[in-house]
Amino acid sequence: MEAWAANTSFGIRGQLAASNHATARADIDFFAEGSGGKLKLAVVLASTLKDKRLATNHNSNGRPASRKGRTWLAVGVLAVLALIPVVTRQGPMRIHTATVERGSIRSLISTNGKVEPIRNFEAHSPVPTTVKHLLVREGDHVRRGQLLLQLDDDDLRSQAARAQARMTAAQSDTADLNTGGTREEMLTLDSQLIKAHSSRDAAQRNLDALRRLSLRGAASAGEVKQAEDDLQRAQADVTLLEQKKKDRYSQPEVAKVRAQGAEAQAAYDAAENALRKSGVRAPFDGIVYALPVKQGAYVQTGDLLLQVGDLSQMLVRIFVDEPEIGHLATGEKIEVTWDALPDRTWRGSVSTIPATVKLRGSRNVGEVTCTVDNQDLRLLPNINVGVTVITAERSQVLTVAREAVRMDDTKPYVYLVEDGVLQRREVQVSLQNLTRVEITAGLSEKSVVALSSVDTKPLFDGAHVKVVP
């Protein structure tokens, strides 16, 4: 349109220049007005006389201007005025549209997850030592009970022997504690107790004899008193020895012996456990999927030696952002994809829902788990996967492109296209995902709705439109 206006301007100026009476200037300005993008053409025609004789309609030779010149000027002005409505007339807005269709829709949560074996075994070094024998390679299938790796156990055997000696001594002390002492100590105590009983019996007989003599006046009261004292001392010796035999050790001594026994037992158990772990055996049938050590390598306590897993069933640990957790429920369908196998999809269902929210990188997430079948062993441990959780699914419902639905004060609406005119229509929606929205009221099947204008102009109710692909 601008090019046409320029050409028209040049034509008018040429016609005005043909006149000998005046010089005319035509300026054509275009500017946008209003949200509809209306164009207004302003044509300003101004004529000025060159001199006083031109003002009196005379040419440069002093002769009156010809009637023919004035006629051409009038024709040019009328032509411009006639073309103003053509130039300024607003054409229909060109838009892209979508059709309301009946079909299926799924409400989805798209996120990521990590794969790990459900049955997993990790072997760690029990002590600082070296890898003496490595009997498998990564990827090997192994059977339950098969020896996989052997650590150097010479030091472990020495430690176990020393621990067993300490435990044996502790057991002996505990036995002495229960019996009251060693055999020699018990024999000595029994001998002392027999002598004490004999001394007490002799003192008793002596006291009885002196009391009889005292009744006949043959023994004094002092002698009787001395005999009573001797009996008391003999009885005290018997009581002390009997107490020793019964409660030989004090409570602190008993506690000390028992603590030493427990410590010795723990040391022995630890040594035996380390000795058993020095030979790593497969606890079940599986695959060696991690083997970070080599034969002859030195390992520290706790270093990972190998990992074995049953890869026929895999656990997918899914990380769901906090705002989406409320849509989760056990049993919801899950689809798992892996970039390394783009044409493959593994399916499962939600086994557990989050009990708490954790910080993972910069995200607050809840962990969801699901089990997927992996009989062909294509899904590998420790890989990162894409996960889609299907929180709801419906079929044979009306759906439309998400881009067509707009919001105004929380009320959804669309622009319905009827007879080339946009009509604002409020709708009711239900399920939605990244591309589609379910329409429950307000539209019918095969209705055509506007998406956007070609030149990004805003849509409005009542606008005349033209649908383009």
Q: What is the pLDDT of residues 231-247, one digit of tens each?
A: 898 889 888 777 766 66
- Whether 344 has a pLDDT exceeding 90, the answer reads yes
- pLDDT-derived band at 106, boundaries 50, 70, 90: very high
Listed in sequence order, the residues at least 6 apart from 294 whose beta carbon sits closer than 8 Å to its beta carbon are 131, 134
Q: Are residues 416 and 388 in the same domain?
A: no
Helix (H, G, I), strand (E, B) or coil at 135: coil
Least confident of 9-18, 82-91, 147-156: 9-18
Q: How many domains does the chain have?
A: 4
Q: Are residues 352 and 385 in the same domain?
A: yes
Tokens of 32: 């946008």
Q: Are residues 14 and 74 in the same domain?
A: yes
* Residue finishing a domain among 393, 419, 443: 393
Q: Are residues 375 and 411 in the same domain?
A: no
In a domain, 152, yes or no: no
* Residue finishing a domain among 373, 393, 413: 393
In a domain, 185, yes or no: yes
Structural domain that includes position 11: 2-90
Q: What is the DSSP string of 384-417?
A: EEEEEEEEEEEEEEEEEEGGG-EEETTEEEEEEE
Task: Give, as one character, the DSSP assignment of residue 222.
Answer: H
Q: Are residues 386 and 415 in the same domain?
A: no
Read off the pLDDT of each residue in 135-159 and give the average, rounded to a whole number. Answer: 93
Q: Which one, of 39, 326, 299, lies nearest residue 151 by Cα?
A: 299
Helix (H, G, I), strand (E, B) or coil at 23: strand
pLDDT cut 90: percent of the chain above it: 52
Q: Are residues 194 and 180 in the same domain?
A: yes
Dist CA 328 CA 388 (whole Å) = 12
Dist CA 386 CA 316 (whole Å) = 10
Q: Are residues 178 and 259 in the same domain?
A: yes
In a domain, 294, yes or no: no
Strand partners, 411: 408
- Check residue 468 and give its pLDDT: 92
- Whether 369 has a pLDDT exceeding 60, the answer reads yes
Q: What is the mean pLDDT of the chain?
A: 81
Helix (H, G, I), strand (E, B) or coil at 363: strand
In a domain, 151, yes or no: no
Q: Are residues 381 and 404 in the same domain?
A: no
**Contact, 428 vs 397, CB < 8 A?**
no
- Check residue 412 and give its pLDDT: 95
Widest CA span of the chain, in angstroms? 200
Helix (H, G, I), strand (E, B) or coil at 445: coil
**Contact, 42 vs 29, CB < 8 A?**
yes
Q: Are residues 248 and 335 in the same domain?
A: no
Dist CA 316 CA 307 (whole Å) = 18
Tokens of 97: 């549209």
Q: Are residues 168 and 261 in the same domain?
A: yes
CATH of the domain at 417: 2.40.420.20
Q: What is the pLDDT of residues 37-85, one digit of tens each?
A: 333 333 333 343 334 443 344 444 444 545 555 565 665 656 555 555 5
In a domain, 363, yes or no: yes
Dist CA 469 CA 464 (whole Å) = 17
Read off the pLDDT of each residue in 428-432 and give the average, rounded to a whole number. Answer: 92
End-to-end CA distance of the chain: 24
Q: What is the pLDDT of residues 194-214, one digit of tens each?
A: 888 888 889 898 888 888 888
Is this prediction's pTM over 0.75? Answer: no
- pLDDT-derived band at 158, boundaries 50, 70, 90: confident
- Check residue 178 and give its pLDDT: 64
Q: Are residues 259 and 347 in the same domain?
A: no
Angle formed at CA 23 by CA 20 and CA 25, multiple of 5 degrees: 150
CATH of the domain at 341: 2.40.30.170
**405: exposed, middle or buried (Cβ count in 10 Å: 0-12, 13-18, 19+):** middle
In a domain, 284, yes or no: no
pLDDT cut 70: percent of the chain above it: 75
Dist CA 386 CA 379 (whole Å) = 12
In a domain, 285, yes or no: no
In a domain, 48, yes or no: yes
Q: Are residues 340 and 367 in the same domain?
A: yes
- Check residue 271 and give its pLDDT: 86
